[in-house]
Amino acid sequence: MLEIKDLNVAYGKVPVIWDLSLKIDSEAVGLFGPNGAGKTTLINCILGLIRPVSGTINFEGQNIVGMETHKIARLGIALVPQERELFPLMSVEENLKAGAAYIPHARNHIVDSMNFVFTIFPVLKERLSQKAGTMSGGEQRMLAVGRALMARPKLLILDEPSVGLQPSIVIEMFAKLRQIKNEGVAILLTEQNVKQGLKVIDRGYVIENGRIVLEDESKDLAQNEHVKKAYLGV
Ligand SMILES: Nc1ncnc2c1ncn2[C@@H]1O[C@H](COP(=O)(O)OP(=O)(O)OP(=O)(O)O)[C@@H](O)[C@H]1O
Ligand SMILES: [Mg+2]
């Protein structure tokens, strides 16, 4: 589905991602790493918001490097960003509809897509007219995921979906992501919460200082000595 090869990214003359390669099939993939490792930078490259210095990003067989963001979105990649994800003064319903607005094939399936979102997040159906900004942090994050799903993505990218949520909501959120993946949507998520993140993914990468230092199945990452020491506190 998505294959990144030998990606190098710099801000001005400062390199931040080095020779990075990564692959996502129909699966949930994690990208774990500390603050400043380059997780958001990589996501911004996939979405066409930053142009890499070199390397290729193939999505469904075509190189999307240099393609405009709205065209990449139309190919089937949706993002739940790290922050400022919603229109706070707009209702839940308006926020959901906005998720489909710029995607022609999604615009024709708004009712179906909303029903799909409600099967995953029933709470949103009860809150359709509530202003997004008045919802709890957990509800807002679920709405942000719902809005991204309205674009009918093949690949859903989430940048640190657990940030700022209390532990019980993190567990609930990750169970929802598992459900979404089982419905056939591939997932790439970045996380600093490696312990919970490992439970939701099939396979994961560890990125440190802009380089992939580890790549493995979820269960093997959980047993890896470096992961245990640096990220799991055991
Ligand atoms: N617009 C920018 N201009 C210059 N440097 C930047 C810019 N954005 C990010 N950086 C730098 O690039 C590096 C990677 O940042 P990035 O935001 O990708 O990290 P991250 O892994 O997402 O971190 P976090 O977990 O804190 O979100 C950092 O050293 C950061 O300071
Ligand atoms: Mg980030």
- Decide yes or no: CATH 3.30.420.40 for domain 1-76+154-228: no
Per-residue pLDDT, averaged over 96-114, amounts to: 93
Which SS3 state, helix, strand or coil, does residue 54 take? Answer: strand
What are the tens digits of pLDDT across the range 33-47? 999 999 999 999 999
CA torsion through residues 111, 49, 88, 126, sign: positive
Question: Which ligand 1 atom sits nearest the alpha carbon of residue 43?
Answer: 18
Residue 20, beta-bridge partner list: 7
Q: What is the pLDDT of residue 182?
A: 96
Question: Which ligand 1 atom sits nearest the alpha carbon of residue 207?
Answer: 21
What is the best residue among 9, 11, 80, 208 to mutate for testing ligand 1's pocket, by most ligand atoms within 8 Å of CB? 11
User: Measured between alpha carbons, how far is residue 9 from residues 3, 32, 49 in Å?
Assistant: 16, 18, 12
The pair of structure tokens assigned to 185 is 């949507």
Q: Is a pLDDT exceeding 80 seen at residue 84?
A: no
Question: Which ligand 1 atom sits nearest the alpha carbon of residue 44?
Answer: 18
Domain ranges of the chain: 1-76+154-228, 84-152
The pair of structure tokens assigned to 125 is 């159906």
Q: What is the pLDDT of residue 57?
A: 98
Per-residue pLDDT, averaged over 159-176, amounts to: 94
Q: What is the pLDDT of residue 102?
A: 86
Whole-angstrom Cα distance, residue 45 to residue 144?
A: 21
Residue whose CA lies nearest to ligand 1 atom number 16: 38
Q: What is the pLDDT of residue 233?
A: 83
CA 87 to chain centre: 19
Q: Are 143 and 92 in contact (CB under 8 A)?
A: yes
Residue 230 Cβ contacting ligand 1 at under 6 Å: no
